[in-house]
Amino acid sequence: MKILLENNLFGLRNTKLISNQKYMKIGFIVGKTNEVCDNKELKKKTPKKFLADTYNKKNQLHTDVAIAMTVKTKFPGHSVDIILPKEISVQRLKKNDINFVLGYDYISTIEQDPWVPKFAGEKGQKLLIDIYKNPQSNIFPPFKHQQFIWNKKKYLTKMKQSKIPINPTIFIKNSVNIPKLLAQISSYQWKQFIIKPIGGCEGHGCGFFTTKDVVAEPTKVVNYFTENSEYYDEYLVQRLTEGFKKYGEVKSFWIGGEYSYAIVTKDIPYGDSIVSPLTDKKILEKCLDLGSKVTKAIPKLDFKGKKTTPVMTRVDMVCCLDNKPLSSYDYYLNEIEEGGLAGSYTDFKQITFPYVDVLADAYVKKARELLE
């Protein structure tokens, strides 16, 4: 794919340019446990304390640590500080010029993945938020942007205002009147619907319902809120798009504001998702147009008075609005995921984009932009 190749070269061409710049202290906050990087040589160079267990396998190299180690290897002229979740503190972070959040944020504390005692529960979550909001912590992306992304209500409202197509949505809280909610859904003639927690990501906390079934037996919805109320306060309700199951979800990756690659994920009952590169030219063209509009509609980030854009954004899209056929190419924005915390799917062999190398270059380039 031409665009993909151009972006590969973009990352590699800039390696020499970036490496000749002034000394920087760059921190990488890691913590992923679910995305293995299969680079045996890099793994050998990585201190064991940064290798995490996953999929019943011990001491795995994950993409967040791999990015940090690649920067450390390719740019020896800079200081690279790899920070585990248990090591996060203002005292540690303020020693660096900038700290990129790759593997542990507020959502990680909710999902307890990984579990970190000092960030457990409401008190621990507040502690992490206070650290990330502290100007001395030199966090990137800034907490305001992190909050914008994990709060689906905020970004969906912003995207709707920006004329970005989204699925019809009802915003609710734990205290919702369930009979009234079901009556509203029935009045919209939604045959099926999904409830997503605001603050959840990668499918965590999602509930799928058939309207006629829960109208007859509301206990199913009551049980959903009982199970999730400990972790979430607000939710969104959307009509379940038939195309989500039929055609899957397009996940597009934008690095440095430019398109890099796209995949299609399709869930199968009682099994892992089917993941494949996006090869359909018409769908790619439609999703490139929509994805570009989404990235441009995201508010600028403010790092110590400098306005900038995210290092990486993942834009997820689904077809089709109003359950039209795929031939309509009527894709809409489903979700936005941010930076290193967004799943890259490069742990699937069929996804060959050089994610770690390109992101390593992109993070150093962003540090240079913000610290000059």
pLDDT tens-digit map of 157-181: 999 999 999 999 999 998 899 999 9
Question: How high is the pLDDT of residue 231?
Answer: 82
237 neighbors 185 (Cβ within 8 angstroms): yes
Judged on CB neighbours under 10 Å (0-12, 13-18, 19+), 226 is exposed
Q: What is the pLDDT of residue 1?
A: 36
Mean pLDDT of 114-143: 96
Q: Is the pLDDT of residue 110 over 90?
A: no
Of 32-36, 38-42, 322-326, 358-362, give the lowest mean pLDDT range: 322-326
Q: What is the pLDDT of residue 372?
A: 83
pTM of the full structure: 0.88
Q: Closest Cα to residue 62, out of 258, 343, 351?
A: 343
Fold entry, domain 169-240: Dna Ligase; domain 1 (3.30.1490)
Residue 13 pLDDT class (50, 70, 90 cuts): very low
Give residue-wise pLDDT tens across range 321-341: 988 888 889 999 999 999 889
pLDDT band per the 50, 70, 90 thresholds, residue 10: very low
**Residue 49 reports pLDDT greater than 60:** yes
Helix 281-297, helix 152-161: angle, nearest 10:
100
- CATH superfamily, domain at 150-165+246-339: ATP-grasp fold, B domain (3.30.470.20)
Domain 2-149+353-371 has CATH 3.40.50: yes
CATH 3.30.470.20 domain locations along the chain = 150-165+246-339
Residue intervals in the chain for CATH 3.40.50: 2-149+353-371
DSSP H or E stretch at residue 137: none
